Structure 1
C-alpha cells in the first residue's frame, strides 16, 4: 500500500523536512533536528502536522448510550465543548485504540483517533453499532490538523483570531473559531505535556494556517516540529503510545491507565467484565518508569532481567532531551514495580542496571 500525503506535505518539503513513512503516511521526522525542536516546545512554541489523525463523528439520539457501551471512560460526565480521554477495548480487555472524545452536545461527538488505527476503529464502531439510533461518519479525509504546543502557543495563535483563546480551558474546545476567515474547531489539547492547541480546518485551507503560524510566530521562537520530538515530548510527559504502553496485548490497567477505566460506571462496556476480573484478582504485570544507572540507550523491545530471569521488556526508551539522562517505560512483572526496585536491561547483549522511578518524569507538567 502506498503511503498517503497530508495536505501539508508540500510545505514540509519546502522547509527541508526529513520525510519518513509513519502509520501509512509520509510525515516529517524532523526539520532542524530532534533536540532543538523538542526544546522549542518546552521553552517557546512548536507546530506539528497531525493531519494523519482520524476524525470519526457519532450523531443521533443514542450517541451517548452507544459511546458508553464502547468506551472505558464515563462519557456522561463530559460537559458541552469538553474533551475526554478514553479507550476502546476488546472483550478480553486488550486495547483497540485510545483517543479523545469531543462532546458538541448530547447527540453529537467527535472521536480523534490514532492514524494507524482509523480504519480499524471505524470498522469496530460499525461492527458494534447494534440497534443504537446513531450515524457514524469517518470524516478523516476532510480535515487537516495542526498542533501548536509550548508556553508561547496562545500568544502565537491569538494573532490569527479574534476569539479570546484564554477563555478555552485545558481539555475544552470551541467548535467554530474564525482563523483568518476559516471556520475551525480549536481545542486546548495536545500530546506534549505543555500548554497548547489543536486546530482542525478543511484540508484545502490548513496550509494557509500553517504558513501564517510560522510567519507570525517568529518573535516567539516558533519552529516546525517532526515526529521525532513528538515522541520524546509525549514520553517525558507520561503519555502512552498505542502499540508501546498499550496494545491488543497490553490492557489499560497494565498500562497504568486505571483512571480512564471506569469499572464502577453503571453501563456495561466491551471488555469491562475481563478488566474487572483482572483488577479483583490482581495484576500480573504493569508498565513502570525507569532510569538507567549505567551507560546506554534503552530501546523499545529490549529485554529486562532480574536474578537471571526475564521479567519484562522496554516499551519506550530515550535519552531524555529535558532531563539529560536515559529513562524509559517498561512492562514488568508486578513484583518488580516498586519505586527504587532495580533490574537489568539487555543493551547490545550486555546487562545494564536500571531502577524504577515515577513515570511522571516532568514534575511540573
Structure 2
C-alpha cells in the first residue's frame, strides 16, 4: 500500500527523522530520540507534525443540529472561535472516535478526528447527515497541522506574530499572520504542556516549520508525543477506548451531554449512566523495572479483574506508569492488585490522573 505523505514529509527525511508507517501515513517516529524529545517539550518547546489528523469542514444552516445529533458535546453552547473536545459514539454508546470540534459560527465548523478513524467517522456522519442544508468536505490534505508544545512555546510563537498569543485562552482559536502566511492558531495540544496547534496552508508548511525550528523549537516524532500524552493521562483511541468502551467507562463523562434532544447515543448513554459502568479506566504506578504493556492482565488474587491499555517508562517521573481498566468495585479497595508482566506478577497501585501536570 502506498503511504500518504504530509506536506512536511520531505522536510522530515532531509532532517534525518526516522520514518515509519502510521495509520496509512509516512510519519516521523523520532528525530534525536524519544526521551530527549520528551525532555525538550517538558522544559522548552517541541514541534510535531500532526498533519495526518483528519480535518472535516462542515457548513450549512443545519450544521449545528447535525453535529448535536452526532457529537457528545452541545455545539449550540459553544461560542464562535472556540473549540471543544468530545467523543463520537454509536447508538450503543461505544466510542467510534474522540475529536475536537472548532466553531467558526453557527453554520460553520471544523471537526478533527484521529487519522486512523477518519474514514470511519466520515462514514458514520454521512449515514446521519441530512439531505440538504449541510455540506461536509474532507480538507485534510489542504493544510498542514503543526503542534508547538512546551513552556517556551508561546514565547517562540510570539516572535513570529503580531498579537500576543499568550492571551489566547485554552481551546480558543484565532486567525493570525505568521511571517506573511495566514494561519489558524488554536490553544490546544496533546502533551500536557501549554502550546498551540497551527493550521497552515499546504504550500507554506515547510516555511513555517523551518522558522520555528530556527527559533529553537525541537523537532519531535510520534514516539515522544505518545509518551507525553500518557504522562498527561490523555487517552489514545484504539488503545484506551474503542467501540466496545463507553465514555463512562473511559472516564470521559464530563465531555458528554447525554440529555440533548435527538442525540443518537443519548438513550444508550443515559441507561449506562443510570446503571453505572462495571469497569473504569484508571492510572497505575507499576513497581519494578519492566513496563506494563497493552493487553497485560490485571489480577486480584487468582482472579483476572482488568487489563492494561497503555504503559511505558516515564522519564519525567522516573517510574513506570500505565492506564488500564479494572472492575469498578475494586477501585476504592485496590490493595494487592498485580499485573502479569510476561509471567511475573508485579505490584501495581491505582493513582489519580494525570500522572503529570504543569
SS in 1 for 2:156: helix
- Equivalences for residues 244-263 of structure 1 within 5 A: 244-263=239-258
SS in 2 for 1:98: strand
Q: Deviations over 1:44-79 (max 9, x none)?
A: 000000010111011111111111100111222211
- Equivalences for residues 233-312 of structure 1 within 5 A: 233-265=228-260, 267-312=261-306
Task: Name stretches of at least 5 consecutive residues in structure 1 with no aligned partner.
Answer: none
- C-alpha distance in 2, partners of 1:213/1:130? 42
Is 2:64 the partner of 1:69? no
- C-alpha distance in 2, partners of 1:216/1:294? 40
Alignment check: 8 A CA contact 2:259 2:270 kept: no
Alignment check: 8 A CA contact 2:258 2:265 kept: no
1:210 CA drift (Å) = 0.4
- Equivalences for residues 201-220 of structure 1 within 5 A: 201-217=200-216
1:341 CA drift (Å) = 3.6
Q: Deviations over 1:213-241 (max 9, x none)?
A: 01122xxxx21001111011111111111
Q: Deviations over 1:319-350 (max 9, x none)?
A: 11110001110111112222754411111121
TM-score (norm 1): 0.95
Alignment check: 8 A CA contact 2:282 2:325 kept: yes
Alignment check: 8 A CA contact 2:149 2:196 kept: yes
- C-alpha distance in 1, partners of 2:78/2:23? 30
Is 2:226 the partner of 1:231? yes
SS in 2 for 1:361: coil
- C-alpha distance in 2, partners of 1:291/1:28? 29
Alignment check: 8 A CA contact 1:163 1:178 kept: no
- C-alpha distance in 1, partners of 2:85/2:125? 17
Worse overlay, 146-155 or 326-335: 326-335
Task: Name stretches of at least 5 consecutive residues in structure 2 with no aligned partner.
Answer: none
Alignment check: 8 A CA contact 1:86 1:260 kept: yes
1:163 CA drift (Å) = 2.7
Residue 331 of structure 1 corresponds to 325
SS in 1 for 2:20: strand
- C-alpha distance in 2, partners of 1:115/1:248? 16
Q: Deviations over 1:94-118 (max 9, x none)?
A: 1111111101011100011101111
Q: Deviations over 1:154-199 (max 9, x none)?
A: 111112221331331111000x211121111110110011110100
Residue 2 of structure 2 corresponds to 2
Alignment check: 8 A CA contact 2:301 2:336 kept: no
Alignment check: 8 A CA contact 2:247 2:253 kept: yes
- C-alpha distance in 2, partners of 1:277/1:42? 41
- C-alpha distance in 2, partners of 1:230/1:11? 19
Alignment check: 8 A CA contact 1:339 1:356 kept: no
Residue 94 of structure 1 corresponds to 94
Alignment check: 8 A CA contact 2:259 2:266 kept: no
